[in-house]
Amino acid sequence: MNLKGRSFLTLKDYTPDEIEYLIDLAAKLKEKKKKGILGNSLKGKNIALIFEKPSTRTRCAFTIGCIDEGGHPEYLGRDDIQLGHKESIEDTARVLGRMFDGIEYRGFAHENAEILAKYSGVPVWNGLTDTYHPTQILADFLTLKEQFGKLKGLKLLYAGDGRNNVANSLLIGCTKMGIDITILSPKSLWPEGELVNICKGYAEASGSIIEITQDLNSVKDVDAVYTDVWCSMGEEALAEERIKLLKPYQVNDDLLKKVGKPNTIVLHCLPAVKGNEITHEVFERFSKVIFDEAENRMHTIKAVMVATLGNGQA
């Protein structure tokens, strides 16, 4: 499959076959890395890593993924370049596009990623914006495939803030790949109606079911329970109010008893605030799969770079 030159801003832009290809490519790259076999798909390529928001997994994944494939990553923090301050994003994009072969952007406004992609002339990869987090969902899907051997027909429950970037991207990804998805959240934190309508179209094509509810009894028989922090970066002032609102949606033993399925797994995109969105006990019980999911950020991000900038092969 040829994805050369494509940006990766949201899973809306990718077909189910293309998403499956990226997951399978990541699995092959992971297998090779475990054997100590690295590639040269990005040899001679320079990659700009723009970080307006700090990161552990995304920064490390892009850096290691790039180096593993023979490329050179250059970290550009918020104080290193004039992105949207003394220089317009359009002009920064045109400068970076002449110097770099690919650009990763992790920041606030999704529009900034779109502008970088429009004006740079090189592939731009979304490392996280306030609206979408597509590389996270690829890692989640690789993890699900490792655990269950398939994606289509699985049932996933997301509990917590139903309108954050992870929930949005899970909604898109699950409906594209035929995974039933339940968003369990207080009504004030449900995803935007426009996005839900778009995803209903994807669900119709794939055969998946969408449920958006505040009913704690809607969790029965799911294969995976997924949660995320209750306050995203930039929302710290809302912490007290958000904790009070979301406490009933904590992933704990009571919730897992309601699921009632022995092989259900728990996923978390990290960092975790144990005692808020997930109890310490449940987190530790499922820590192996959660840290498999974290490691899979590296393999899936590497796959995106190899597919869109490299030779597209493991």
Does residue 269 have an active-site annotation?
Answer: yes
Does residue 106 have an active-site annotation?
Answer: yes
- 270 belongs to an annotated ligand binding site: yes
Catalytic residue among 59, 268, 297, 299: 297
Q: Of 240, 245, 247, 242, which is closest to residue 279 (Cα–Cα)? A: 247
Three-state DSSP class for residue 266: strand
Does residue 133 have an active-site annotation?
Answer: yes
- 134 belongs to an annotated ligand binding site: yes
Q: In what order do the strands lie in the sheet with 72-77?
A: 72-77, 46-51, 102-106, 124-128
- 268 belongs to an annotated ligand binding site: no
- 250 belongs to an annotated ligand binding site: no
Residues in the chain: 314
Residues 6+ apart with CB under 8 A from 113: 9, 105, 107, 124, 126, 129
Q: State how far the Cα of 203 lies from the Cα of 197, in Å rounded to an integer.
A: 10
Catalytic residue among 110, 228, 231, 242: 228
- 55 belongs to an annotated ligand binding site: yes
Q: Token pair for residue 253?
A: 């033993």
Catalytic residue among 6, 59, 110, 133: 133
Over its C-alpha atoms, the chain yields an Rg (Å, rounded) of: 19
- 135 belongs to an annotated ligand binding site: yes
- 218 belongs to an annotated ligand binding site: no
Catalytic residue among 6, 66, 130, 136: 136
- 56 belongs to an annotated ligand binding site: yes
Catalytic residue among 174, 199, 231, 269: 269
- 106 belongs to an annotated ligand binding site: yes
Catalytic residue among 6, 59, 106, 268: 106
- For residues 146 and 23, the answer to whether their CB atoms sit within 8 Å is no
Does residue 136 have an active-site annotation?
Answer: yes
- 165 belongs to an annotated ligand binding site: yes
Backbone angles phi, psi at 235, to 5 degrees: -115, 20
- 88 belongs to an annotated ligand binding site: no
Q: Helices in the chain by DSSP H: which ranges?
A: 16-34, 57-68, 89-99, 110-120, 134-148, 165-177, 193-206, 239-246, 253-259, 280-285, 287-308
Q: State how far the Cα of 163 lies from the Cα of 199, in Å rounded to an integer.
A: 14
- 94 belongs to an annotated ligand binding site: no
Q: What kind and span of H or E run contains 107?
A: none
- 232 belongs to an annotated ligand binding site: yes
Three-state DSSP class for residue 126: strand
Q: Of 227, 222, 220, which is closest to residue 267 (Cα–Cα)? A: 227
Does residue 285 have an active-site annotation?
Answer: no
Q: State how far the Cα of 297 lies from the Cα of 259, in Å rounded to an integer.
A: 27
* Residues of each annotated binding site for carbamoyl phosphate: 55-58, 82, 106, 133-136, 269-270, 297
* Residues of each annotated binding site for L-ornithine: 165, 228, 232-233
* Residues of each annotated binding site: 55-58, 82, 106, 133-136, 165, 228, 232-233, 269-270, 297
Catalytic residues: 106, 133, 136, 228, 269, 297
